[in-house]
Chains A and B, each alone.
Chain A
Amino acid sequence: MRIGTVSYLVCAAGACFGQYDLLLKNGHVIDPANQIDGVLDVAVSGGKIARVAANLPANQARKVLDVRGLYVTPGLIDLHAHVFGYSGSLFPDDTALIAGTTTVVDAGGAGWRSFDEMLRRVILPSRTRVLALINIVGHGMLGARYEDDVADMDAEKTAAKIREYRQHIVGIKTAHFGGQGWVAIDRAIAAGNMAKVPVMIDDKIFTNTGRTSREKLLDKMRPGDMHTHMYNDRQLELIDRFTGKVQAYAVEARRRGVLFDLGHGGGSFLWPVAVKAMAQGFAPDTISTDLHSSSILIPESDMPNCMSKLMNLGMTLGDGVLRSTVNPAKAISRFPELGTLGEGRVADIAVLDLRSGVFAFKDAWHKKLMGTRKIECVMTVREGRLVYDRDGRGFPDWREAGRYEVIP
């Protein structure tokens, strides 16, 4: 056993005083909800955060991970993911846990007609916590033929499904509506009023829809509703084309409580928009990936990369963590159950490495910005269990691990 890098404690029956299942030692803990930003130990017991304090004794834990030099944060919450319904959707355990993301919110893959199938096929079998914004379209995100069908946008049935599954459904999504006028947004908000949940809007402005960003943000959206794809100028005209300034009505909407979500995806993170907006202090309220089959390869829009991209435009790590944990948890009314390392809260934890060097960060249109700081996920703990461990810090060298019990 090497002291100072990994200590791995095996407790023979009765010989261990361990009141903790897991102890992360000497990491730099960032827990914005509790104003913690410093080197502390985090102890986990029974799937919950047991203690966050300095110098917790190693002999009190069954497993000790030395995470000196790394950052320990609440498990990341991806407010805009695609894990069901949408043709590019990805199975969450396949992409989230390796990125420090312990909660994903599916953004409109299922509607009220298909939610039960999503529950059975994706939500229940996943180790990742999967929540859902259900689509105002009953069939969900199955392409224009369904998504433009106004007859399938039933606010009553949508609200009824949300009431039936409050533990899984946290809001409503309206997206991709190609028709004229406000009917999709109006019905989504009507359903939101009935079920008392927020609405996430992904809306086009590039085609002639009869909708304007100003009217949408100021007259339609309620405090707590979320506009996603904020750095794509085809979804939301965030930057005035003539002045280069963030639109005054966007600033006003934010002041009134409308939330702006990143939703990186395959088309919605563009350097010219992000650079201008960040330079004017218009950062995303919530950092999210819109991760799907075409955003995961070249743009690599996972949570640590989204945070890294913003950090290279001036965001601090602490602020990036806030907008990837506390803010999304609040947006879906799951704070403080989620998004903090408060004692007694569920032990969903990300261990992150902040690397220095020269790195390429690629936007949705495959252009790069060379940056100098990069966040990488090193370990993920989900409900107290170490589910991802890139460098094997939590495991013994095989030669020192004692006998390999052979399956009979």
Chain B
Amino acid sequence: MRPAALVLLSVLCPAGACGQEIYDLLLRGGHVIDPGNKRNERLDIAISGERVRRIAARIPAAHARRVVDVTDYYVTPGLIDIHTHFDAQGAPLNLNPDHNALRNGVTTAVDAGSSGWKNFEDFKTRVIDRSKTRVLAFLNIVGAGMYGSQVEDDVAQMDVEAAARMVRKHRQTIVGIKTAHFQPANWEAVDRAVKAAGLSDSVVMVTDREIRCVLTVRNGDVVWDTEGLSLTDWRESGPYSNFK
């Protein structure tokens, strides 16, 4: 370090308080759109662990272990898709979250009632707990979830108490109640959904320019990087000696 810089550093840092944090990841030069903080300008974003640590006009590249130049791009909070269907009943009906969500910049996907109180926990172990995508869920008022009109039109399948119990048990994951596809000419499904929401203190859901996601960061990890912005050229990456 040059002496001049050393002096400056010692002036700026009161004794013991300095230790500049070294960030894990720095996204540099992107146009940040963060409506929650009224930001819409060119800013750098520093990330450590799973958290955004700092957003500022110029964060030195030397302060991060990994620097990704995103000058040509917009940087936004991970998108939240509030109405998705991710694999509640196994393959045929629904999509798998990670490759559908993450490569489109969606870091949080809310499954809209694919499962009900009877099969939510199966959905949770098979899909939610295994996904890199944050998957939340509306619980279908129908116990077996979206299982076709025979089940979804049957009010006997809509157990308000059991649905509310399931919501209370999984508050971290279940964000509300869903009612959908109910064909009989009455309000029974909606009424029961609202009642279950009331019992569980949650909400009810009743149903020329390309935007392309180039990079997705989830929990601090680069999980999608189609332009290879964060990756090294294979010839410069040293020997291929270890598995990841």
Contacts and interface: CB of A to CB of B under 8 A. Distances in A.
Interface of A: 83-84, 90-91, 94-95, 121-122, 125-126, 234, 267, 270-272, 293, 296-298, 300, 359-363, 365-370
Contact of B234 (A83, A84, A363): A363
Given A91-B92, A360-B231, A362-B228, A267 B243 contact: yes
B169 interface: no
A32 B196 CA distance: 61
A369 B233 CA distance: 6
B27 to A, nearest CB: 17
B92 A125 contact: yes
A366 B231 contact: yes
Contacts of B96: 90-91, 94, 293
Nearest to B243: A267
B95 A298 contact: no
A298 B223 contact: yes
B102 interface: yes
20 contacts: A90-B99, A91-B92, A122-B92, A125-B91, A126-B92, A271-B240, A272-B234, A297-B224, A298-B225, A360-B227, A360-B229, A360-B231, A363-B234, A365-B243, A365-B244, A367-B233, A368-B231, A368-B233, A369-B233, A369-B234
Interface string B94-138: 011011101100000000000000000000000000000000000
Given A91-B91, A91-B95, 11 more contacts: A91-B96, A94-B96, A126-B92, A234-B243, A270-B240, A296-B99, A298-B224, A300-B226, A360-B226, A360-B229, A366-B244
A397 to B, nearest CB: 12
B220 to A, nearest CB: 15
Contacts of B103: 296-297
Interface residues of B, number: 26
Interface string B198-234: 0000000000000000000000001111111101111
Nearest to A266: B244
B92 A297 contact: no
A271 B238 CA distance: 12
Q: Is the interface of A mostly helix, strand, loop or mixed?
A: loop
A121 B234 contact: no
A259 B92 CA distance: 33
A270 to B, nearest CB: 6
B90 A121 contact: yes
A272 B223 contact: no
Contact of B231 (A125, A234, A267, A362): A362
Contacts of B20: none
Contacts of A366: 231, 244
A362 B98 CA distance: 18
Contacts of B99: 90, 94-95, 293, 296-297
Nearest to B214: A360
Contacts of B186: none
Contacts of B100: 94
Closest 6 CB pairs of A and B: A360-B228, A367-B234, A368-B228, A271-B234, A125-B92, A296-B99
A363 B240 CA distance: 12
Contact of B237 (A125, A234, A367): A367
A363 B228 CA distance: 10
B183 to A, nearest CB: 13
Nearest to B94: A91
A377 to B, nearest CB: 15
A83 B240 CA distance: 30
A293 B36 CA distance: 32
B232 A121 contact: no
A362 B237 contact: no
Contacts of B229: 360
Contacts of A369: 233-234
A359 B231 CA distance: 13
A302 to B, nearest CB: 10
Nearest to B236: A367
Contacts of B224: 297-298
Contacts of B234: 271-272, 363, 367-369
B232 A368 contact: yes
A122 B93 CA distance: 10
B172 to A, nearest CB: 23
